[in-house]
Amino acid sequence: MAKVEASAPGKCILFGEHAVVFGQPAVAVAIEQRITVSLELLEEGTDEWRIDGMKLIPSKHPHVQALRSRLWQKKAGAPALSIHINGDIPPASGLGSSAALSVAASACLRAARGRWLSEGGEATETKHWAEGFSSQLTDTDVYSDVIEGKDPARRAGNNGQGDLHIWGNQAIDVDECALLGHAVEAIAQGGRASPMDSSVCAHGGIVLLSNEVVKETDWAYTRTLNTPEGDRTWQVHTIPVMADEQDVYLVIGNSGVHAPTSIQVAKVAAAMTENPQRMREIETIGLIARRGVEALLKGDFEAVGRAMSENHLMLRGLGVSCFELDNLVRAAAPSSLGAKLTGAGGGGCMVALTRNPKQTSEAIELAGGRTLISKIGNAGVRIEGHEGLPFWKPSSK
């Protein structure tokens, strides 16, 4: 049986959500909880995609549909697939379940489709790719929907097109998974999405986004997106996960209230358009995030916690918290170094940084939240297993 399975972690934002959409810095960490996606080939002659046994309805699964149009075009001969999604990241709760899904699904699709390289090419060298999306390739059209008659994944490598076909793990490029994840998040969020969730779900560890390159961290790449409010550029970095961090834990409290990210992001955008003075609040969140990053780099978790709590107050002011989240943040405060809502807010989750995970978790549960405990910084996207690859091989030229 032809099958491929990949998983990606969820994420938790320590500082800077919402402000990051306007180019301010933000930090997110990969959590222990993951989404696993598996793909199987359907019987020959079947044309209809399945998702968890049901017919795939594109409008209900915009992320899958957008990946399909970029990596798995029917007109290029791609076969229909059955997709299964599992995991322990609660959906629509600010923990990056949709980014983890998109990133894991793009890894599966790439592993199963493979990648054409130019003659004698190396998979690790994007200049040798005959197909694929990467921030290293300036001609990337990953953000546009399928262009009629053109395979958007196609480009000429250094030594010409498609002489060597590779698949499975060696065809995977983590940056490509992050880039595809961002493109499909942007579509699902009405054109406004930072590359925060997709980058951390792809790379794992700790990711810092900023409008400028930040020294003392590892700069990875630049991302640009044309949003309804104009072009935005982010510098994406990774921050080393320090051994000290093993003493501190994240306790995530789910309020159980559902609030779609796209609505929250649009609400903040509307508030800024209505009153441009409020951009100061976004800038203050940026200042707090910068302080948080310094503290994180020094391993000063008391200061990290303080920055998180201050960040929560600013998010409340922006109008993206809610009664339930504030209640859980208050309950966590006495036993933690700091606490705040995490993600888009309006519902979803809060997070507390703590040295007493049991005590903090109990306090949040008593206040009505469902908790998850995670260490800071976990592995990024990975292939969990495969057989019968490639599922399909687009023509090389």
Least gap, CB of 264 to ligand MEV (angstroms): 6
Residue 368 CA, chain-centre distance (Å), reads 28
DSSP string, 63-130: HHHHHHHHH--GGGTPPPEEEEEEESSPTTSSS-HHHHHHHHHHHHHHHHH-EEE-TT--TT-GGGBS
Beta bridge partners of 9: 34
Least gap, CB of 94 to ligand MEV (angstroms): 6
Q: Does 197 bind ligand MEV (CB under 6 A)?
A: yes
Least gap, CB of 95 to ligand MEV (angstroms): 8
Site string (84-103) toward ligand MEV, x via CB under 6 A: ----------x---------
Closer CB to ligand MEV, 25 or 205, in the complex: 25
CA proximity to 35, closest of 18, 52, 50: 52
Least gap, CB of 189 to ligand MEV (angstroms): 6
Site string (254-283) toward ligand MEV, x via CB under 6 A: -------x---x------------------
Least gap, CB of 194 to ligand MEV (angstroms): 3
Helices (H), the chain: 62-71, 97-113, 174-188, 196-203, 261-274, 279-298, 301-318, 323-332, 357-366
Beta bridge partners of 160: 157
d(CA 131, CA 151) in angstroms, rounded, equals 9
Cβ-contact 234, 220 below 8 angstroms: no
> Site for ligand MEV (CB under 6 A): which residue of 101, 107, 179, 196?
196
Closer CB to ligand MEV, 22 or 167, in the complex: 22
Least gap, CB of 259 to ligand MEV (angstroms): 11
- ∠ CA(124), CA(128), CA(134), 5° rounding? 65
- ∠ CA(44), CA(49), CA(54), 5° rounding? 120
Q: Point out which span in 82-90, 158-166, 188-196, 212-220 binds ligand MEV (CB under 6 A).
A: 188-196
Q: Does 31 bind ligand MEV (CB under 6 A)?
A: no
Q: Does 285 bind ligand MEV (CB under 6 A)?
A: no
d(CA 81, CA 90) in angstroms, rounded, equals 25
Closer CB to ligand MEV, 20 or 328, in the complex: 20
Site string (327-346) toward ligand MEV, x via CB under 6 A: ----------------xx--
* 195, two tokens: 């590359």
Q: What type of residue sits at position 298?
A: K
Least gap, CB of 10 to ligand MEV (angstroms): 10
Q: Does 20 bind ligand MEV (CB under 6 A)?
A: yes
d(CA 82, CA 76) in angstroms, rounded, equals 18
Least gap, CB of 325 to ligand MEV (angstroms): 14
Closer CB to ligand MEV, 17 or 173, in the complex: 17
User: How many positions of this chain bind ligand MEV (CB under 6 A)?
Assistant: 13
Q: Does 17 bind ligand MEV (CB under 6 A)?
A: yes
CA proximity to 320, closest of 295, 300, 342: 342
Least gap, CB of 377 to ligand MEV (angstroms): 17
For 70, half-sphere exposure in the C-beta direction (CA atoms, 13 angstrom radius) is: 30
Q: Which of residues 119-178 bind ligand MEV (CB under 6 A)?
A: none
Closer CB to ligand MEV, 94 or 132, in the complex: 94
Residues at the interface with ligand MEV (CB under 6 A): 17-18, 20-21, 94, 193-194, 196-197, 261, 265, 343-344
